[in-house]
Amino acid sequence: MCVTLFPNLPGSTFVVRGCLESVLRHAYREDTQLHSDGCYLLRSLPMFPNTVPMDYVVCTCHGDYCNNIDMPNVVEKPYSFAGSGILKLAYSDDERSLQIATSVCSREALWATSLIISIYSVCFLGL
């Protein structure tokens, strides 16, 4: 399995291409979600205490030398890992960018959550 890995930073030219086993750390190598072809947003695993995590885009594929994609635009914030550390991305051909892949259910859940927060803010906090 091949991977292309780059930081989710605007203007970055740093790219790592190689085999999954060589590029990713142990915890991510064993995650079955990354064994499916596609792109994912990863939160870096802390190497030392008090280090700030970075977000990386990793695209995985099966086949010889399949990891030759060009770096798309960065994934726009805000996004939340919600304890997972891995978010599935979808590629938008017209914008040459990656976006967080959300299902209709996820969008409805986000809308409902923001509505509850708004009601709470108005009713209980007086905002």
Domain count, the chain: 1
How many whole angstroms separate alpha carbon 96 and alpha carbon 8? 14
3-state helix, strand, coil in the chain (%, to 5): 25, 30, 45
How many whole angstroms separate alpha carbon 41 and alpha carbon 43? 7
pTM, to two decimals: 0.71
106 in any annotated domain: no
115 in any annotated domain: no
36 in any annotated domain: yes
66 in any annotated domain: yes
How many whole angstroms separate alpha carbon 63 and alpha carbon 67? 9
Chain centroid to Cα 36, Å, comes to 14
pLDDT value of position 35: 81
Has residue 114 got a pLDDT over 80?
Answer: no
**Which pLDDT tens digit goes with each residue over 5-51?**
899 988 888 999 988 888 877 667 777 788 889 898 988 877 788 88
85 in any annotated domain: yes
97 in any annotated domain: yes
123 in any annotated domain: no
Mean pLDDT of the chain: 75
Domain limits for position 63: 2-101
125 in any annotated domain: no
Q: Which band of pLDDT confidence, cut at 50, 70 and 90, is reported for residue 93?
A: low
